[in-house]
Structure formats: structure tokens, C-alpha cells
Structure 1
């Protein structure tokens, strides 16, 4: 099964909720368990919230959701600049710091997550998450 949807939403907080609802609806077509669905909901929420907060003021939040076999690929883009020179920071900020936990949370929950090269002045975060457990090779 392959399901794909693209959205271009206004840069406003309600767009985060809309994106999460669309993802939840698409995931209902899969055999993903509740834990994986919950992790994907957190991933799209954090990625979209970062786009809403950090995008240029006249930018839209562009979202692509692709579910292909057993993998969900999320791409969240906006006009602006890539944070931290393009890397996902895996360390949490000081406990008293306001904000700064979204990218470490994304890095922890995703199978892969990275800022990828897009058009000039475009920030694109690509996140992949397996919907089912990835089989491992038997130990010999």
C-alpha cells in the first residue's frame, strides 16, 4: 500500500493540529500499533510547531506525508534558515531553558531525521519512521 498527501498550511498554531489529524487519519489505514502512531503524532507535532515558530513571517508550512509499505516519511518545510547549521541536536537544553526540546525529541523518536537541501531559503526536515518492527538478521 502506498498513501501520499501534501499540504500547504498557513503559519499559525492551528496548522499543527490540522497536520496531526491528517497524519492520524492516514495511519488508520495501516497496521501501525498505538505506540508507533503516538510517536509519529509527536514527530509531526514537533516538526510543524518548529516551522510555525521559526519560519519567515510570510512563509507557509509545507508538509508531505508518504506511507509506503511499512515506513512513514514526513517532510516539513518552510522558508527560513536551517537551525544549528543543519544538524539535529541530540542533547537536551538546561532544564530551566524555555524551548529547545523539539529537535532532540525528533532525533530520539525517529528512525532517521535530517535537514535536507532544498531550494534557497528553504528549510526541509525529513523524518522516517518504521510502522512495524524491523526484522533483524539472526545471530550466528
Structure 2
């Protein structure tokens, strides 16, 4: 089974919840483990929240969700803006730990893979993969 959906949501906080609900609904079509469902809920929440917070003011939050062979979920979250400094993801929390700065470390720690994908200079695209079942 292959399922795919593309969303273009407004740059507003409620879009984070909408994206999470759509992903949760799509996952009901799979045999995803509870761990995978929980990780994916955090992954899409953090990726979308970052897009809403850091995107250019008139940018939409573009989301693609692809479920491949009932085994892997690919999430892509994009917007107009600039890639964070260093354009790399790492699981180290920022020091000092402040209110912000936890999203990318959470994504790096929970995802099977997560990377910023090269694109036009004014576009940010974060690609995340997560296995849905035990390996």
C-alpha cells in the first residue's frame, strides 16, 4: 500500500494541530506501532511548529505525507524562509536550555532520518523518515 497526501496550510498555530490530525488519520490505515505513532506525532508537531514560527510572513506551510508499503512514513515540511544555521540536525540540546531550541534536537533524536533538503535559496524543506513497524 502506498498513501500520499499533500497539504498547504496557512502560517498559523492551528495548522500544527491540523497537520497532526491528518497524519494520525492516515496512520489508522497502517499497522504502525504505538511508538512509531507517538514519534510521528512529535515529529510533525515540531517540524510544523518550526515552519509556522520561522517562515517568511506570507509563506504557507507545505506538508507531504507518504506511507510506503505500510512500513515507512516520509514527512516533508517546507516553507519560504531560510535554513537554520548550519543546516544540520543533531540531538544535542542547546546550552543554556531556554524556552526555544528543542524542536530540531527532538526531531534528530526521534526520527530514523531527518535532513534539510537543498532547494531554492528562499525555501526550507525538512525531510523526515520513520519506520512504522519493528525492524
Alignment of 1:18-29 (within 5 A): 18-29=18-29
Alignment of 1:14-93 (within 5 A): 14-69=14-69, 70-93=71-94
Q: Which has the larger radius of gyration?
A: 1
Kindly state the Cα deviation for residue 92 of structure 1 after the two structures are TM-superposed: 0.3
Give the CA RMSD over aligned residues. 1.0
Kindly state the Cα deviation for residue 97 of structure 1 after the two structures are TM-superposed: 1.2
Name the counterpart of 2:134.
133
Give the Cα separation in 2 of the matches to 1:90 and 1:124: 19
Kindly state the Cα deviation for residue 98 of structure 1 after the two structures are TM-superposed: 1.6
Other structure's SS at 1:87 match: coil
Give the Cα separation in 2 of the matches to 1:57 and 1:89: 27
Give the Cα separation in 2 of the matches to 1:27 and 1:88: 25
Other structure's SS at 2:86 match: helix
String of CA shifts for 1:36-68, please: whole Å, max 9, x gaps.
Answer: 101100000000000000000000000000000
Q: Tell me, which stretches of 5 or more residues in structure 1 are unaligned? A: 135-140
Q: Tell me, which stretches of 5 or more residues in structure 2 are unaligned? A: none
Kindly state the Cα deviation for residue 35 of structure 1 after the two structures are TM-superposed: 1.5
Name the counterpart of 1:106.
107
Other structure's SS at 1:89 match: coil
Kindly state the Cα deviation for residue 95 of structure 1 after the two structures are TM-superposed: 5.4
> How many positions carry a matched residue from both structures?
134
TM-score by length of 2: 0.96
